[in-house]
Amino acid sequence: MPTIQELNELDADAFTNALHGIYEHSPWIAARAAAARPFATLAALKLALQAAVDGATDAQRLCLLRAHPELAGKAAIAGELTLESTGEQASSGLDRCTPDEYARLHALNAQYNERFGFPFILAVKGPTGRGLTRQAIIDTFVRRLDNTLDDELREALRQVHRIAEIRLNALLGIEPSIGVTVMDWCETLGAISDSDADLTCAYMTPAHQRTAATIAGWMREAGMAVLIDAVGNVVGRYAAARPGARTLITGSHYDTVRNGGKYDGRLGILLPTALVGRLHERGERLPYDLEVIAFAEEEGVRYRSTFLGSSAVAGGFDLALLDARDADGILLRDALAAASHDPATIPAIARDPATVLGFVEVHIEQGPVLLERGLPLGVVSAIAGSSRYLVELKGVASHAGTTPMGMRRDAAAAAAEIVLLVESRCSGPASLVGTVGQLEVPAGSVNVIPGACRLSLDIRAADDATRLAAVDEILAGISAICARRGIQEKLYKLLEIDAVPCAPRLMAQLGTAVERAGLPSFELPSGAGHDAMRMAQLTEVAMLFVRCSNGGISHNPLETMTADDAEITAQVLLDFFHGFH
């Protein structure tokens, strides 16, 4: 098995020949990447191969796609696949399909080729490299048939690169062991749920408590001293070589939204836990105490109060929330007591800022930015602030057939104009986004002009001045629309949260670690809220985003990532730990 150094030392033809099976029947990719040598890391080689494809013509990329065989197609049945493709299809049992599965795949292949003009391409070895089930392959096939041509072209090329990544691992004898461990742990936790039908882990339910206990067990096995505090946070502490050291904190949340994904929050707990296990195996201690905190609650599913876990650590827990009730009328304080927690001791969880060095959170991106750029990692620049409003519009309900268009006071038409106003105003600055996520015509009828309408506004940006300027213009625009249409408006502010910038010095240290791994240091804002927002009240914070596959879908069972991306993240985070100051 060659090493990166040995590949660097080959002449261009020998380098191309060594990588001949990495991209299906397409040696031109390796030939073009050869000019970018020497590669310091495997990640740098992957990026060079990807860049060769990105720099190709549309016709060349289409030829690359068409070089791939159909899944369980005629070439596979006839034994005419390359050695690599034969092994990959066998890894998912595609050589052992039932007659019904062969018929289904044959029909899907024909439908896909007719729609897109190239074969369906999927890295059938999956996120961990062990192979997808045949049903998962069929489900993905069906889902991607709904894509537009442009979206599917991009997704097919991403799958080509994932196939190449797995083949490179095999060629170089590389096993993403930490990444696979983290993915396996996520699968284990993903099977612990409040629901038999999906992954839902709400605060202080039996599934939530089982999840906490499972995480605590892995932390102990990794060599940490572990406690579960009064709010349900699982705290693992890996002590420094010398007593009395200050503490660097990392972690994220282990609760989920309803019908959520397996990696949101949990990745940021399990990956540093696995790293501590590696340090412990080597008998290595850091010059500071390292704490991994699995925050008990961030999503607000059960009690509609977010960040309960990190707020307690940061010293901002609102004790009045103990009297909040869930949908069944159970008080939060009673839910804690039933789980053997003492609510009276929650204030003692708060950390002394003088003892804390900083907080760094690893999190799946929950969006498509890194995916579209072909990057496994990004350094977060800021967590967006948010302004949320409820807008109530009142017009006049009247007969749809007898009221002339120019004489109507249509509340839904005003709402439609407001939706377009939000879309238009928030299409400028990169981090500014605006959403109307709720839109309702109360008691609407098909033959009645809407006399009332309710809608929500959610305006976010990484910079508060940008967000507030947009909010001012949108609210003024709503008033102008309503005045012109004869609509009464009422506005209710639901939420106002300031943006949280990440600490420049911590961002720089993360960026340096990313570059040492052979990747460019790419910065991006977070549009979603994270525990780091609350921890910023205690100490300096930083975040590292990890690529989210499946189009960047998150808060969804389709949320996914790969063991290789988890592995490079582990490498970067460990480098950050070693160089942290």
Mean pLDDT of 406-410: 96
What pTM was computed for the model?
A: 0.93
- pLDDT-based confidence at residue 77 (cuts at 50, 70, 90): confident
What is the C-alpha separation between 219 and 227, in angstroms, rounded? 10
For the chain, what percent of residues have pLDDT higher than 90?
93
pLDDT given for residue 81 in this prediction: 79
Are 226 and 156 members of one domain?
no
Residue-averaged pLDDT of the chain? 96
Are 311 and 399 members of one domain?
no
Show which of 496, 530, 550 is a domain's final residue: 496
- pLDDT-based confidence at residue 72 (cuts at 50, 70, 90): confident
Paired tokens of 150:
């442009």
347-377 tens-digit pLDDT: 999 999 999 999 999 999 999 999 999 999 9
Are 274 and 414 members of one domain?
no
Are 219 and 241 members of one domain?
yes
Show which of 144, 172, 200 is a domain's final residue: 172
Count: domains in the chain: 3
Would the CA dihedral through 275, 281, 286, 291 be positive or negative?
positive
Are 413 and 534 members of one domain?
no
Distances (CA, A) of 174 to 16, 166, 178, 421: 20, 9, 12, 51
What is the C-alpha separation between 406 and 485, in angstroms, rounded? 10
What is the C-alpha separation between 51 and 314, in angstroms, rounded? 43
Q: Three-class SS of residue 176? A: coil
Are 106 and 209 members of one domain?
no
Are 147 and 11 members of one domain?
yes
Are 247 and 339 members of one domain?
yes
Paired tokens of 465:
């001045």
CATH number at residue 368: 3.40.630.10
What is the C-alpha separation between 516 and 442, in angstroms, rounded? 57
Are 345 and 244 members of one domain?
yes
Identify which has the larger pLDDT, 299 or 304.
299
504-559 tens-digit pLDDT: 999 999 999 999 999 999 999 999 999 999 999 999 999 999 999 988 999 999 99
- pLDDT-based confidence at residue 581 (cuts at 50, 70, 90): confident
pLDDT given for residue 95 in this prediction: 86
Are 186 and 232 members of one domain?
yes
Q: Which domain, by its residues, includes 242?
A: 179-381+501-579
Are 150 and 295 members of one domain?
no
What is the C-alpha separation between 191 and 463, in angstroms, rounded? 38
Show which of 496, 522, 552 is a domain's final residue: 496
pLDDT given for residue 78 in this prediction: 72
208-246 tens-digit pLDDT: 999 999 999 999 999 999 999 999 999 999 999 999 999
pLDDT given for residue 385 in this prediction: 95
CATH number at residue 47: 1.10.3330.10
Are 418 and 434 members of one domain?
yes
369-403 tens-digit pLDDT: 999 999 999 999 999 999 999 999 999 999 999 99
pLDDT at 322 over 90: yes
